[in-house]
Amino acid sequence: MPDKIEIDEQRMKLMNFALFAKQAKMILKDMNQANLQGEFFKKYNRDDVIKWIETPQKFENKLIEISKYCYMVSPHYRRICDYFSKMSLLSYVAVPYKLDMKRFNKKNFLECYKSTIDILGVMNIKNEWEKIITELFVADVAYVCEYKTDDSYFCRLLPYDRCQISSNIDGVLQFQFDFQYFDKYPKQLSNYGEEFISKYNIYKKNRTKYRWQELNDENSFAVKLSDNVNYSIPIFANLITTIFDLEDLRKIEKAKDKLNIYKLLLMKLPLDENGNFAGGDFDKALEYYDFLSECVDDNVGIGMSPYEIQDFSFEQSGTASQVNAYSESVSSFFTASGVSELLFNSSKSSSATISSSIKNDSEMVCHIHRMIERVINKKLKQFPDKYKFEIKMLDVTTYNQKEYIDSLLKACTYGAPIKNELLACFGYTPAQSYGTSILEDCLDIVNSWKPLRSSNTQSGSNTTDEGGRPKVDDTELSDSGVQTRENDNRRDDT
């Protein structure tokens, strides 16, 4: 029988061993409680973000800041913003404005038209406005300063926290710039141009009175997506807190998946009726414990011991009823954005639902098209030409391009003067359309090119028409129609 001293020593060793096991259990519990922090949470606090969203007029710069950060680090947030900002093809045509036919001169009219479309071509609307539209969906507002020469044009997005909307000229927003900005970044002043340099010199004479100055409206403008409120709030600001949830759940799912492949091999220690260790020398038991620990691989434990071994698996019970919480949260994220999840989830499909959702989303892009028209037409009005033109943005998007072109082709059959609109839908600017038309005449393509042989150029006797209704495009079929066509193709193959 072991004496009292030996029993106390063994009891102490047993208590220390139990304490170690308790600490290990606490670590596993923390992983499941999602008490995990990443870079996103170190930079921003969830409670602060909620407070900013509740009072956006007070924290508009904070909301824009975190929206820009989410656009950089969150693929879901970026995808939502890019979905809207890159939807438009930014197709446009130039049409006459206030045309007076009593004093019409065709030669002068064509000269003014050529001058206008050349200027629009230099403005590179498709490239410059794409980055402005992206800024609108991320920050709700874009402060733009233009730099131009006879053959180049560039739009600079100014810092959102140094600009404030101050006026409205002919339907176009103007803003004031905080010239204190160059006290902090003096080396950047020369990159901003002559207007900034001259107004910064004015600011230095009286730093209080001239800190905020409005820029020349000929070279600057502001556009705001939520133009029904007088403060800026990112249109998807409500999704920012959802990103916190997604980050939490992603880490939880990762921790759970990691735990599912682990097993804990527990060596059962024999105790007597008084609760004392009854396995002989406890040091011997520790030797077996150390041996078992050394044999454990990343996810498999192997050992030999005279003691009873019991294994514990962390894998969740049940398989068919399990639902990935992270996937559900991603679905909720897109639902909260007001966009159909089906657009971003290839595992689900419903052509009718997707089509309806895209049409609804396109309304926001059409709203931006009207903004672009106001900004550019304000500039075109300032031209000294006798004949005035204005820009017309076509509401054609990546998703309705084919449908839009078909409607134009049908209208052309009735003599509607919309050939320029048709070329615009194919990606041509007015200047490119004008130049291409002249080039075709010079090359005499109409007479020198012969069309390829097809069913459209051959007589009916040479065709292989099998009769029946012409097949529609796969994109126009419903889900059941796609399945029917696939079944028909399988039968033909057999």
The pLDDT of residue 302: 45
Query: Residue 37: its pLDDT value, please?
Result: 39
Q: How far apart are the C-alpha atoms of 275 and 278, rounded to whole Å?
A: 9
In the structure, what pLDDT confidence band is assigned to residue 326 with cuts at 50, 70 and 90? very low
20: exposed, middle or buried (Cβ count in 10 Å: 0-12, 13-18, 19+): exposed
pTM of the model: 0.70
pLDDT tens digits along 39-92: 444 477 888 888 998 999 999 999 999 999 989 888 888 988 998 999 999 999
Question: Minimum mean pLDDT among 81-90, 207-216, 308-317: which range?
Answer: 308-317
Is pLDDT of 466 > 60?
no
- Rounded Cα distance between 67 and 52, Å, is 12
Q: For residue 33, what pLDDT is reported? A: 36
Does residue 248 surpass a pLDDT of 90? Answer: no
Question: What is the C-alpha to C-alpha distance for residues 250 and 192, in angstroms, rounded to an integer?
Answer: 43
User: Whole-angstrom Cα distance, residue 217 to residue 221?
Assistant: 6
Following CA atoms 26, 31, 32, 36 in sequence, which dihedral angle do they give, to the nearest 10 degrees? 120
